[in-house]
Amino acid sequence: MSDDEMKAFLKRDRRPRVRISVEGYDTSLPKEDINKALVNIFSSCCEIINVRIPIDPETSLVERRAFILLRGDDAEDKALQLNGSDVGGWKVLVQVTPEEDEETLRYATALDDDLMNDRRFWFGVDVRGYDTSLPDDDVKSTLIQHFSSCGDITIVLLGIVDRCAKIYFSQQDAEGKALKLNGSEVGGRKITVRLVATVVNNPPPFAFDSERQMIGYSCPEISGAEGLRQPLMAITKKMKDSVLFLFGLFSLSVLVSQSIAGRVKAPLLQQSNTNGLVFSKSFNSIYDTSLYGRLQLNNGLARTPQMGWNSWNFFACNINETVIKETADALVSSGLADLGYIHVNIDDCWSNLKRDSKGQLVAHPETFPSGIKFLADYIHSKGLKLGIYSDAGVFTCQAYPGSLFHEVDDADIFASWGVDYLKYDNCFNLGIKPIERYPPMRDALNATGRSVFYSLCEWGVDDPALWAKEVGNSWRTTDDINDTWASMTTIADLNNKWASYAGPGGWNDPDMLEVGNGGMTYEEYRGHFSIWALMKAPLLIGCDVRNMTAETFEILSNKEVIAVNQDPLGVQGRKIQVNGVDDCQQVWSGPLSGDRMVVALWNRCSEPATIAASWDMIGLESTLSVSVRDLWQHKDVTDNASVSFEAQVDAHDCHMYILTPQTVSHSAV
């Protein structure tokens, strides 16, 4: 089916839509399982445009009510007939709900408009078992010949890591015909055929809704380690899949361009002898610095974590060039720019709803009428850097054009505009593995000759800390943050897992700051900022800096805490010790340049607590005497602390200190 025929097909499809709500499912089940069950139930009666299963930010569990947007001549009646259906031991309760959710309608509209120049990914199957030793062109031609009887094939994609193929058709019934070829032979080998996703009926695999919660689904994927697992099992039965996966990626390294992916030559941490031993024998085991200085991308950027501002947390899609210009002005006039907040990053929704006649991305004519080049020039005139957003999928998370398969063109246009930073998201990714989708944009950016900070927003789906070190300058390790205590603390814990995989050139990214957005208390925001700084996380402001409160500015402008984040040693601090109910009394610490240590006493309990950090706990020699400086009170607490240090910390508050051996000056802070 040609592009014109595809557009005509869409224009013919103007059947009635209905939005229903569904209750009764087991909320303790994984969201993906619930999504798949709902799709199985309601796809029998009508077309599914969108499935939305909200997540409770306080509990991280799915909420009791899901919303499904359906299309069909009798969609409402057919859906209501399924009320009370028994599925897996639970009965679904179905009722019609008004389409008040504009974002749900955005997705429905996006699937109907003439953006379909790139929407070749309609109805697909996953194929495995063919001879992977053959050249890719031979594999594609063989598969096309084998599956051509099922329907019009729009595209065949071959995986690099798991050696599977994804075959997409333009007709819905082609999937069923293709599934009947499961077990058939191709070149003397039996193949397995499984469903990928029905893109017309559902957003592409791993698509996200307005709250960036998963609404898509895809067939189960075999991990990169699967092919290695059996022969290696005889060697060791205790190796974790992540280790096997990393081993499996070794062969991939020869396929991925390394033109800007050199090795950082920074020295490893060394034990000092400033005044007797500073670090204890347990220091290296506590902080696991064996990977430091060896793994990070070397494109001349990100020697310290990036600092700046991003539009998403406060403005979401309500952005325009005036907001961006005024934000740049505010960063300069407030003094935040002088403290290091130099990146002004535009998030999703900046582009037009479709590419131009040449296939190029263009700024939205109503919200960014002067274009991105104009904004870049303005931002640069302020001594700042401009960041832009795109997606390693066919669409962005808000259903604007994505950059998948357009990497070269989009990198070129970004460079021509003067863009300095790219946040690259993970929505509508067709189920293609991140390790295959993210390197092409790295190579395309490198080919432009412009230094562009490359921020991977992969949500930690495939443990990017294990592979993104040679791909980007930072990588998201978690799902999106929300402006709540529960979300912030959960994300801090998740990011802590990857502390050994960050350093100059590449940083773990637990998402942007929520400080100043109103969902947490002053004490909670202070803890948020302290822990992000200690973890060497990017410090990207997420509030409206044009209208900050004095408390918000106080937190964001704390020079001593910022200095911890920007310390040239570049070792991520981590959670060291927990005590109390639900481990709510916590000690976080990390080494700094000049033989110093940063220590955060974080009280996540609901009442005040005395929290202590012992030298043995944080990796200092037990006989060492240190001075202690309070980074929030901006004063020295003592000049002669030994063995341990403790403080009374209010509920949900965080104290942050620098410990300096007596013969080392504070001036390094």
- Over residues 175-192, the mean pLDDT reads 90
pLDDT grade for 227, boundaries at 50, 70 and 90: very low
Q: Provide the 8-state DSSP code for 511.
A: -
- The two three-digit tokens of residue 217, written as one number: 């689904």
Cα separation values, 365 from 311, 353, 360, Å: 19, 10, 14
* Whether pLDDT at 215 is above 50: no
> Percentage of the chain surpassing pLDDT 90?
56
pLDDT at 211 over 50: no
pLDDT in tens, 347-360: 999 999 999 999 99
Residue 484 confidence (pLDDT) above 50: yes
Residue 100 half-sphere exposure, CB side, CA atoms within 13 Å? 4
CA dihedral 554, 555, 556, 559 (to 10 degrees): 80
Contacts of 375 (CB under 8 A, 6+ apart): 321, 324, 325, 346, 368, 386
Model pLDDT, residue 11:
42
Q: Helix or strand or coil: residue 69?
A: strand
Q: Which residue has the higher pLDDT, 219 or 156?
A: 156
- The region of weakest confidence among 156-165, 239-248, 577-586 is 239-248
- Count other Cβ atoms within 10 Å, centred on residue 181: 18
Vertex 510 angle, CA 504 and 515, to 5°: 110
Give the pLDDT confidence score for residue 34 in this predicted structure: 82
pLDDT band with cut points at 50, 70 and 90 for residue 430: confident
Write down the pLDDT at residue 307: 99
Asked if 308 and 341 count as a contact pair (C-beta separation under 8 A), the reply is yes
Find all residues with CB under 8 Å of 173, minimum gap 6, and list them: 151
- From the list 575, 580, 571, 568, the residue with the least C-alpha distance to 611 is 580
Instruction: Give every CB contact of residue 589 below 8 A, 6+ residues apart in sequence.
Output: 534, 573, 574, 576, 597, 598, 599, 600, 613, 618, 619
pLDDT at 60 over 70: no
Q: How far apart are CA 550 and CA 561, in angstroms?
A: 17
pLDDT at 72: 79
The maximal CA–CA distance of the chain, rounded, in angstroms, is 82
Confidence of residue 24 (pLDDT cuts 50, 70, 90): confident
Query: Of the ranges 35-49, 119-133, 560-574, 619-633, which one carries the lowest mean pLDDT score?
Result: 119-133
Is residue 87 very low, low, confident or very high in pLDDT (cuts 50, 70, 90)? low
Mean pLDDT for the stretch of residues 133-149 = 89
Q: Which of residues 553 and 41 earns the better pLDDT score?
A: 553
| Domain 307-562: assigned CATH number | 3.20.20.70
**Tokens standing for 423?**
């946040």
Which of the four pLDDT bands, split at 50, 70 and 90, describes residue 135? confident
Indicate whether 244 pLDDT > 60.
Answer: no
- In this predicted structure, the answer to whether residue 305 has a pLDDT above a threshold of 90 is yes
Model confidence at 295, in pLDDT bands (50, 70, 90)? low
- Top-ranked range on mean pLDDT: pick from 129-138, 184-193, 559-568: 559-568
Best CA proximity match to 301, nearest among 420, 473, 424:
473
Q: How many CA atoms lie within 13 A of 287 on its CB side?
A: 29
pLDDT at 205 over 50: no
- Is the pLDDT at 161 greater than 60? The verdict is no
Catalytic residues: 425, 480
DSSP state at residue 351: B
Lowest-confidence segment of 288-302, 318-332, 408-422, 644-658 by average pLDDT: 288-302
Q: pLDDT band at 209, cuts 50/70/90?
A: very low
- Look up the CATH superfamily of 13-106: RRM (RNA recognition motif) domain (3.30.70.330)
Where are the domains positioned within the chain?
A: 13-106, 114-195, 307-562
Structure tokens at 101: 């959710």
Stretch among 20-24, 159-163, 245-249, 317-321 having the lowest mean pLDDT = 245-249
Sheet strands (E) in 457-595: 474-476, 507-509, 539-541, 574-579, 585-592
- pLDDT of 594 reads 93
Please indicate whether residue 626 or residue 255 has the higher confidence score (pLDDT): 626
322: left (phi over 0), alpha (psi -120 to 50) or beta: alpha
Mean residue pLDDT of the chain comes to 81
- Mean pLDDT over 2-26 rounds to 60
Contact 389, 346 (CB under 8 A): yes
Q: What is the pLDDT of residue 18?
A: 78
pLDDT score for 412: 97
What integer is the mean pLDDT of 288-308?
Answer: 79
Residue 279 has pLDDT above 80, yes or no: yes
List helix spans (H) across 438-549: 439-448, 485-496, 522-534
Identify the DSSP state of 316. Answer: T
Q: Which of the two residues, 38 and 196, has the higher pLDDT score?
A: 38
pLDDT at 660 over 50: yes
Q: Residue 471: helix, strand or coil by DSSP?
A: coil
pLDDT at residue 663 in the model: 67
Residue 355 phi/psi, 5-degree rounding, is: -70, 165
1 three-state secondary structure: coil
Higher model confidence: residue 642 or residue 64?
642
Do domains 13-106 and 114-195 share one topology? The answer is yes
Task: Check whether 493 has a pLDDT greater than 60.
Answer: yes
Q: What angle do CA 350, 431, 79 make, to 5 degrees?
A: 85
CATH classification number, 114-195, choose in 1.10.1270.20, 3.30.70.330, 2.60.40.10, 3.80.10.10: 3.30.70.330
DSSP 194-246: EEEEETTTSPSTT-B-TT--B---------TTHHHHHHHHTT-S---HHHHHH
pLDDT of residue 81: 86
Q: Report CA Rg, the chain.
A: 26
Strand partners, 93: 23
Residue 196's pLDDT is: 65
Q: Is the pLDDT of residue 599 over 70?
A: yes
Provide the pLDDT confidence category of residue 570 given band limits of 50, 70 and 90: very high
Q: Tens of pLDDT along 450-471?
A: 999 999 999 999 999 999 999 9
The confidence score (pLDDT) of residue 321 equals 98
620 and 280 Cβ atoms separated by less than 8 Å: yes
- The full DSSP string for 85-140 is -EETTEE-EEEE-----HHHHHHHHHTTSS-GGG---SEEEEEE-S-TTS-HHHHH
Look at residue 207 and tell me whether its pLDDT is greater than 60: no
Looking at the DSSP bridge assignments, the partners of residue 391 are 425
What letter does residue 423 receive in the DSSP assignment?
E
β-pairing verdict for 343-345 and 385-391: parallel
Tokens 């595209």, located at residue: 155
Identify which has the larger pLDDT, 45 or 492: 492
Give the lowest-confidence range in 179-188, 553-562, 598-607, 626-635: 179-188
